[in-house]
Amino acid sequence: MGLMHIDDIQPGMKLAADVKDQTGRILLTAGHEVTERHVKIFRMWGVIEADIEGVDRDEISVVASAPVDSTMVGDVQNQARSRFRHADLEHPAVKELYRLYTERMAPPDTEGGDRAG
């Protein structure tokens, strides 16, 4: 199981955990197959991701980080290093934030990655 972004969720995928809205109300319980209508309802209630069966979080992040890193412009990298100079880049959470920062900063044409893999 692994968390998947709502943009990547396809009809037919199976929920590994209940999907709840911001207030904790259950919208759809674990084990259900997601339909297009479900995804629409999730969006309406501000749900941004869901736990999907058979997805490994590590796989997603490897695929997502590869294209940006390889084509990252030197400027962005220098800027990122400077902003993160007090941060411990060995920490997994900081590493993820560093990746998200460079992803946000990178010019749009380098974002060619296929997130869902």
- Tell me whether residue 22 or residue 70 sits nearer to another protein (CB atom): 22
| Residue 117: CB minimum distance to another protein, A | 15
* Per-residue CA distances from 16 to 68, 76, 101 (Å): 29, 37, 29
Q: Which residues are bridge partners to 15 per DSSP?
A: 52
Give the footprint of another protein on residues 16-45 (CB under 8 A).
22, 24, 44-45
In the chain, % helix, strand, coil (3-state, to 5) comes to 45, 15, 40
In the complex, minimum distance from the CB of residue 18 to another protein, in angstroms, rounded to a whole number: 12
Kindly list the residues in this chain that would bind another protein in the complex (CB under 8 A).
2-3, 5, 22, 24, 44-46, 48-49, 57, 61, 82-88, 91-97, 100-101, 104
